[in-house]
Amino acid sequence: MVDFTKMKRNSGDLSKLAKAVEDMNKTYDSGDKSENFFKVETDKVGNGQAVIRFLPAPAVDGDDGLPWVKLYSHGFQGPGGWLIDNCPTTKGNECCICAENTKLWNSGIEANKEVARSRKRKLSYIANVYVVSDPKHPENEGTIKLFKFGKKIFDKITEAMNPQFADETPINAFDLWTGANFKLKIRKVDGYQNYDKSEFEKPCALFDDDEKLEAIWKAEHSLQELVSDKQFKPNEQLQKRLDKVLGFETTTDTPSDTVQSKTTVEKMKSRPAVSIDESQSSESDDSLDYFRNLANTDD
């Protein structure tokens, strides 16, 4: 376990995070219901706000962990129902869904490409946060939650680490002493939640009390647990679910890697493709929960 005193001594050091972000960007390929997850409640027009503080890597995960984990997932509807699952590529493993998407894309048929687009994986990040302010639910204030977010917010974190102007000081958003509170502002734009107005406040210690800070740090939730092997279906089980959702008609002598038939493609084209798109700034957490309720996961 990392030592709290050592963490304070290294406060403000961005080198480790900067290297992690650099490595991640080299490999980057352009909602959980648990009460441990924090979500901002929005009003009737889709607006919402809160103030949170990103926290360092949790003590329970050891010294080598980053303050976030990266998770890929799939969420889409086919003729046979809904598929909502974590993508094995998160762990560097093969994914039958991604493989089928590649086949469709490489077919050169525009209809197949459109289907592949509707099923592509979504990128999310999960980190621990301290809830500073939650106007809709003040009972959340002072609690430690897990927060799932997408590329838009992650970009704001990396921009804070690498400011564009010489008179701006780099900020390690996950630092207890030299970090900064994050003003989470949500708007509904073109049907999606938009986080463009969100911003960091001026750097300051979360509290001027090391004992309180250490208690917060030790109370964080494990991040590695969220990407442990048990969070991912074996590829054989995922393939079975995919075949059911896509409405494949297979026989005993049909190869397991059969490319999607023209009939199945037409079925999917006939109903609106609803997917969780990793490029959306909304992070689509509410949609993900909705999809989970619809999904029939009994195989």
Q: How confident is the model at residue 161 (pLDDT cuts 50, 70, 90)?
A: very high
- For residue 152, the surrounding DSSP H or E stretch is helix 151-161
Domain boundaries, the chain: 4-247+258-294
| CATH of span 4-247+258-294 | 3.90.198.10
Q: How confident is the model at residue 168 (pLDDT cuts 50, 70, 90)?
A: confident
Please state, in angstroms and rounded to a whole number, the distance separating the CA atoms of residues 133 and 149.
18
Checking if the pLDDT of 136 tops 70, the result is yes
Mean pLDDT of 204-215: 97
Question: What is the pLDDT, as a whole number, of residue 250?
Answer: 52
pTM (2 d.p.): 0.74
Checking if the pLDDT of 134 tops 80, the result is yes
Mean pLDDT of 15-21: 58
Residue-wise over 134-155: b if at least 16 C-beta within 10 A, else e?
beeeeebeeebbbbbbbbbbbe
Checking if the pLDDT of 19 tops 60, the result is no
- List, for residues 63-72, the tens digit of each pLDDT value: 668 999 999 9
Q: How confident is the model at residue 279 (pLDDT cuts 50, 70, 90)?
A: very low
Checking if the pLDDT of 50 tops 50, the result is yes
Mean pLDDT of 217-235: 95
Contact 94, 88 (CB under 8 A): yes
Residue-wise over 184-221: b if at least 16 C-beta within 10 A, else e?
bbbbbeeebbbbeebebeebeebeeeeeebbebbeebb
Question: What is the pLDDT, as a whole number, of residue 6?
Answer: 75
Cβ neighbours of residue 109 under 8 Å, at least 6 residues apart?
none
Question: What is the pLDDT, as a whole number, of residue 35?
Answer: 81
Bigger pLDDT: 227 vs 12: 227
Checking if the pLDDT of 99 tops 50, the result is yes
Question: What is the pLDDT, as a whole number, of residue 16?
Answer: 62
Question: What is the pLDDT, as a whole number, of residue 245?
Answer: 92
Q: How confident is the model at residue 290 (pLDDT cuts 50, 70, 90)?
A: very low
Strand segments (E) across the chain: 48-54, 68-78, 81-86, 122-133, 144-149, 182-189, 192-194, 199-200
Mean pLDDT of 154-166: 93
